[in-house]
A and B are shown apart, each in its own frame.
Chain A
Amino acid sequence: MSRPSWIFAPVAGMAAVLLGGGTLLGWWRNNEGLKSIVPGSSPLKPNIAAGLLLCGAALAFLSLTGSAKPARVGAALSGLLVFILGGLTLGEHFFGWNLGIDQWLIPQGANGTSQTLRMAPATALCFVLTGILFFAQSQLVPRRLGIPLAAGLSTALAFIGALALAGFLLEVLFGPGWNLLGMSASGVTAAVGFLLLGSGVLALLQSERHLAWSLDAFTTAGFVSGILLVVVAAGMAFTYTRRMLETTTGLIHCQEALGKIQAVYADMSELASGQRVYIITGDEQFLKARELIRTEARDDVLRARRLTSDNPNQQHRLDKLEPLLSQRIDWEERVITSRRAEGFPVAAQLMATSAGVRLSEEINGILKEMEQEEYRLLSQHRKQAEMASITAFSILPMGVFLSLAILSLGLSFLNAGVTEQRQAEKALRVSEKRYRGLFESNPNPMWFFDLETLSFLAVNDAAVRHYGYSRDEFLAMTIKDIRPPEDIPALMDDLSQTSEGLDDTTPWRHRKKNGELIDVEITAHEVPWLGRRSALVLINDITARRRAEKQIRKLNLELEDRVEKRTAQLQTANAELEAFSYSVSHDLRTPLRAIDGFSHALLEDFGQRLPEEGQRHVQTIRGGAQKMGALIDDLLTFSRLSRLPLKRREVNTGRMVRDAIKELDFSHNGRKVDLRIDEVPPCLADAVLLKQVWLNLLSNALKYTRQQESAIVNVGCTREAGNDESVFFVRDNGTGFDMRYAHKLFGVFQRLHRAEEFEGTGVGLAIVQRIVHRHGGRVWADAAVNRGATFYFTLGEKTKS
């Protein structure tokens, strides 16, 4: 109700009340200023004023109370009253009734008025229309009929008022030719009143949202301008026809006046000739018709005066003519009297005087002037009549043609609009069908339910299948009936909370017809259903999923439990292993030391008593014991490797290699080894473990080049093609090995050489492999028998260059 039209309706009503009421007050108090509120117009008639007052009040009341019941009753009563008023006045006009209703409010003649108080037929018709309008607006007739009726009538009223007002204003501005409806000044105030009432009711309809243009603005504008053109053309044709009529009347008047002037001339000639004959003959018979002609002449002059009443020049000439005529007739009478009394000579002498001739000449002169004037007017009127008829007859077909053109244009637009609308409707039907299909054949249960009553409005086949209820059973239930009773408070809570937009996915429990409870996920949207607030609901049965989830959770718990148990077992095993290796370290070595120590003691204390063979055996025992000690040491190192945590940090590889070489004492036994250490990049590794790798590889190189005259050991780093990884290597020119046995190279206790050739436990390369693998790297070898061997390894990370 915030539209500007809301305020217009009561304002228009009030204005009509002021107009009518003010005028009535003016009549009552006899105040001319109040009587004619519009300046220059004649006073508004009391009945019109009363009608405007009544209808204005009804309009203001309706619009201010929002069409409350008392306002509607008031509007109906006002409508009825003005309808009766207009109808009776029309009856007075057309059937000559005299009901005295015009003098009912203000008696004729009172307050010094002399003009008639009866309203014009057009005004009376307008009141009949206004009456119907207010009756329709009172909503006592069915709204389907009442609203279009009220809209049409109010438009017509406003239009008539506006047209009359416009005609009047145009006439004031540009002259009489522009008054489209020929509206007299007296009707202007009434026109203002009807304009106010009509536009006020239109605004009221608009504010109550009864007026909604369904046609597009272009088509509407076409039709409105077409209708306007027809009305304007009709109005102009009417005006010009009326003007033609007026000029034709003027033409006839002119001709009549001309006739009368000529008649006067003829009368005068006849009188003069009669008198002349009598003077000569003295025969009274020639004077017989004289009296009759004199009356006739006087009548003709009178008629001429009446016919030329609108022409002051002719009137003036008549003023001069009349005494001259009397003088001439008097003179003739005098001559006749003297002939009769004194005889012919005296009369002939009188006749000879110039007095009579002079009068005749003067009379003839004036008559001639008048004749000429009338001829001039005649031709002028004829021209005007011709102009008016040409204009009238050209405007009408032109206007009709133009308005027909605009109307047909409007019609074609309307047609196009209707075609478009039909296509849109078709598209809508197709879309509707598609969505219906989407609903009906959806594999998930779907339904509509009323958000007020919660009852089902429609369910799809999937819902019927899934829940076990028939469609009819569904439609007889509410959504509360498919829920377990304990869930209903939560449901009501949810519905009241999400009444704005039910657009969420929530888990619920539903009950099937067989009583089985299922877990569902609901997606709901608020969708209007035949004017009702309803929600479209999509149901996703998640019972199976829930069950699976529960199962998974249970399994997970069990798994965790099992992992915990296994971890504990592993920890126990690890602890046992540690204890075991501790025992091995401590307890296995002790008896070995005893074997070696006491063998040594045996040789020391009783060596002389033993034969050489015995001494060699004791040495063998010692060698075995020492070998076993070395094996135990290596095994312990190897097993420790997997237990210690890896601590990576940046290692200066070059320095580490040099340290290892120093530790290994390459010049032992006076050997000469050609050591070639290339530039090697630093790396990220566990320093303690990496040192072990270098030690093992370098000591191997040293060991297997023992038999070479000029041993060469080369340490370096390469890069594999397409890989950033550093590949460190240790190359020697020693005995090498057969690549067929390369797969055994890194196994624990695996040896490719006989113990007599090269001592060793067979654990060193296994330790290297384990350390490299713990770093995520790879280790491999390339060798040939007697051609040396190369051991490569990486550390599983991109080394810094």
Chain B
Amino acid sequence: MSEGHVEILLVEDNPQDLELTQRALRKGNLTNNIHVARDGAEALEFLFCEGAHAIRKIEDGPKLILLDLKLPKVDGLEVLKRVKNDPRTKTIPVVVLTSSKEQNDVVESYQLGVNSYIVKPVNFEGFSAAVLEVGMYWLLLNQAPKMEE
């Protein structure tokens, strides 16, 4: 996977969920340029071009972040906060994809500026449809603001 034009940053610790998500995306032909981070810290490193990703340019994306909330090391809400508080990453759409139906999480996520909040259904057809709809919408239909220049 090239780090040049990453379109989707998928942050997911659970390997089965990761595989199912990737399967759903693949069905919608959204497999190009997906970068996977397995915990919050890794996601932040990638986003802010630190550590292993130091050579990457922050302006290079991604175009969409699919974020699980329950993550090892740094949790999803913290990642969301950092992204939405930084002017350089603020405009990246973030979609929370989580199992949690907790009202607290929904409210807090929206307060932190999440663009969509999607509860992953147990039913795969539902899950797949939701992931695809979100990916399609944010990547293809949504007109993102021009960042630099």
**Interface of A toward B, CB cutoff 8 Å:** 581-582, 585-587, 589-594, 596-601, 622, 625-626, 628-629, 633, 636, 640
Majority SS of interface residues in chain B?
A: loop
Q: Is the CB of A597 within 8 A of B124?
A: yes
Pick from A582, A597, A629, A640: contact of B20, CB under 8 Å = A597
Q: Is the CB of A636 within 8 A of B99?
A: no
Q: How far is the CA of A625 from the CA of B124 in the complex (A)?
A: 10
Q: Is the CB of B125 within 8 A of A600?
A: yes
Closest to B101 in A: A585
Q: How far is the CA of A587 from the CA of B17 in the complex (A)?
A: 11
Residues of chain B within 8 A (CB-CB) of A622 are 124
**CB contact under 8 A between A593 and B100, given known A586-B70, A598-B16, A601-B23:** no
Taken residue by residue from 1 to 29, chain B's Cβ proximity to chain A (1 for < 8 Å, 0 otherwise) reads as: 00000000000001011001001000000
Q: How far is the CA of A636 from the CA of B100 in the complex (A)?
A: 10
Q: How far is the CA of A185 from the CA of B99 in the complex (A)?
A: 140
B147 contacts the other chain (Cβ, under 8 Å)? no
Q: Is the CB of B20 within 8 A of A594?
A: yes
Q: Is the CB of B122 within 8 A of A625?
A: yes
List of 6 A-B pairs having minimum Cβ-Cβ separation, nearest first:
A629-B122, A594-B16, A597-B20, A600-B124, A597-B124, A586-B99
16 A-B contact pairs sorted by A residue (CB < 8 Å): A581-B102, A585-B99, A586-B70, A586-B98, A586-B99, A587-B70, A593-B16, A594-B17, A597-B20, A598-B20, A622-B124, A626-B122, A626-B123, A629-B123, A633-B101, A640-B103
Q: Is the CB of A582 within 8 A of B122?
A: no
State how many angstroms separate the Cβ of B70 from the closest Cβ of chain A: 5
Q: Is the CB of B127 within 8 A of A585?
A: no
Closest to B122 in A: A629
Q: Is the CB of B16 within 8 A of A590?
A: yes
Residues of chain A within 8 A (CB-CB) of B98 are 586
Residues of chain B within 8 A (CB-CB) of A600 are 124-125
Closest to A629 in B: B122
Q: Is the CB of A593 within 8 A of B70?
A: no
State how many angstroms separate the Cβ of B22 from the closest Cβ of chain A: 11
Residues of chain A within 8 A (CB-CB) of B120 are 589, 593
Closest to A632 in B: B122
State how many angstroms separate the Cβ of B60 from the closest Cβ of chain A: 31
**In the complex, given contacts A593-B99, A596-B124, A640-B103, what are 19 additional A-B residue pairs having Cβ atoms less than 8 angstroms apart?**
A585-B99, A585-B102, A586-B70, A586-B98, A586-B99, A586-B100, A587-B99, A589-B99, A589-B122, A590-B16, A590-B99, A593-B20, A594-B20, A597-B16, A597-B127, A600-B125, A601-B124, A622-B124, A636-B101
Closest to B70 in A: A586
B72 contacts the other chain (Cβ, under 8 Å)? no
Closest to A625 in B: B122
State how many angstroms separate the Cβ of A487 from the closest Cβ of chain B: 63
Which residues of B111-145 have CB atoms within 8 Å of chain A's CB atoms? Answer: 120-125, 127
Taken residue by residue from 40 to 71, chain B's Cβ proximity to chain A (1 for < 8 Å, 0 otherwise) reads as: 00000000000000000000000000000110
Residues of chain B within 8 A (CB-CB) of A582 are 100, 102
Q: Is the CB of B122 within 8 A of A596?
A: yes
Residues of chain B within 8 A (CB-CB) of A599 are 124
Closest to B14 in A: A590
Q: How far is the CA of A593 from the CA of B18 in the complex (A)?
A: 11
How many residues of chain B get a CB closer than 8 Å to chain A's CBs?
Answer: 20
Pick from B17, B102, B124: contact of A590, CB under 8 Å = B17
Pick from A587, A593, A636: contact of B122, CB under 8 Å = A593
Residues of chain B within 8 A (CB-CB) of A590 are 14, 16-17, 99
Q: How far is the CA of A598 from the CA of B100 in the complex (A)?
A: 21
Q: How far is the CA of A593 from the CA of B123 in the complex (A)?
A: 6
Closest to B105 in A: A582
Q: Is the CB of A593 within 8 A of B127?
A: yes
Residues of chain B within 8 A (CB-CB) of A601 are 20, 23, 124
Q: Is the CB of B127 within 8 A of A629?
A: no
Q: How far is the CA of A591 from the CA of B15 in the complex (A)?
A: 11
Q: Is the CB of B101 within 8 A of A592?
A: no
Q: How far is the CA of A598 from the CA of B21 in the complex (A)?
A: 11
Residues of chain A within 8 A (CB-CB) of B17 are 590, 593-594
Q: Which of A585, A593, A633 has the most CB of B within 10 A?
A: A593
State how many angstroms separate the Cβ of B125 from the closest Cβ of chain A: 7
Q: Is the CB of B14 within 8 A of A596?
A: no
Q: How far is the CA of A593 from the CA of B20 in the complex (A)?
A: 9
State how many angstroms separate the Cβ of B110 from the closest Cβ of chain A: 17
**CB contact under 8 A between A585 and B123, given known A594-B17, A597-B20, A601-B23:** no
State how many angstroms separate the Cβ of A564 from the closest Cβ of chain B: 27
Q: How far is the CA of A601 from the CA of B124 in the complex (A)?
A: 9
Which residues of B65-120 have CB atoms within 8 Å of chain A's CB atoms? Answer: 69-70, 98-103, 120
Q: How far is the CA of A591 from the CA of B69 in the complex (A)?
A: 16
Residues of chain B within 8 A (CB-CB) of A633 are 101
State how many angstroms separate the Cβ of A591 from the closest Cβ of chain B: 8
Q: How far is the CA of A640 from the CA of B101 in the complex (A)?
A: 11
Q: Is the CB of A592 within 8 A of B102?
A: no
State how many angstroms separate the Cβ of A102 from the closest Cβ of chain B: 133
Q: How far is the CA of A59 from the CA of B60 in the complex (A)?
A: 132
Residues of chain A within 8 A (CB-CB) of B69 are 586
**CB contact under 8 A between A585 and B124, given known A593-B17, A597-B20, A601-B23:** no
Residues of chain B within 8 A (CB-CB) of A592 are 122
Residues of chain B within 8 A (CB-CB) of A596 are 122-124
Residues of chain B within 8 A (CB-CB) of A591 are 16
Residues of chain B within 8 A (CB-CB) of A594 are 14, 16-17, 20
Q: How far is the CA of A636 from the CA of B123 in the complex (A)?
A: 18
Q: Which of B120, B123, B125 has the most CB of A within 10 A?
A: B123
Residues of chain B within 8 A (CB-CB) of A593 are 16-17, 20, 99, 120-122, 124, 127
State how many angstroms separate the Cβ of B87 from the closest Cβ of chain A: 32
State how many angstroms separate the Cβ of B105 from the closest Cβ of chain A: 8
State how many angstroms separate the Cβ of A131 from the closest Cβ of chain B: 118
Residues of chain B within 8 A (CB-CB) of A585 are 99-102
Q: How far is the CA of A434 from the CA of B102 in the complex (A)?
A: 81
Residues of chain A within 8 A (CB-CB) of B103 are 640
Q: How far is the CA of A622 from the CA of B124 in the complex (A)?
A: 9
State how many angstroms separate the Cβ of A76 from the closest Cβ of chain B: 111
Q: Which of B98, B99, B120, B122 has the most CB of A within 10 A?
A: B122
Closest to B98 in A: A586
State how many angstroms separate the Cβ of B104 from the closest Cβ of chain A: 9
Q: How far is the CA of A585 from the CA of B102 in the complex (A)?
A: 8
State how many angstroms separate the Cβ of A460 from the closest Cβ of chain B: 74
Residues of chain A within 8 A (CB-CB) of B99 are 585-587, 589-590, 593
Q: How far is the CA of A596 from the CA of B20 in the complex (A)?
A: 10
Residues of chain A within 8 A (CB-CB) of B125 are 600
State how many angstroms separate the Cβ of A615 from the closest Cβ of chain B: 15
Q: How far is the CA of A628 from the CA of B123 in the complex (A)?
A: 11
Closest to A599 in B: B124
Closest to A598 in B: B16
Residues of chain A within 8 A (CB-CB) of B124 are 593, 596-597, 599-601, 622
Q: How far is the CA of A593 from the CA of B103 in the complex (A)?
A: 21
State how many angstroms separate the Cβ of B63 from the closest Cβ of chain A: 25
Q: Which of B23, B101, B121 has the most CB of A within 10 A?
A: B101
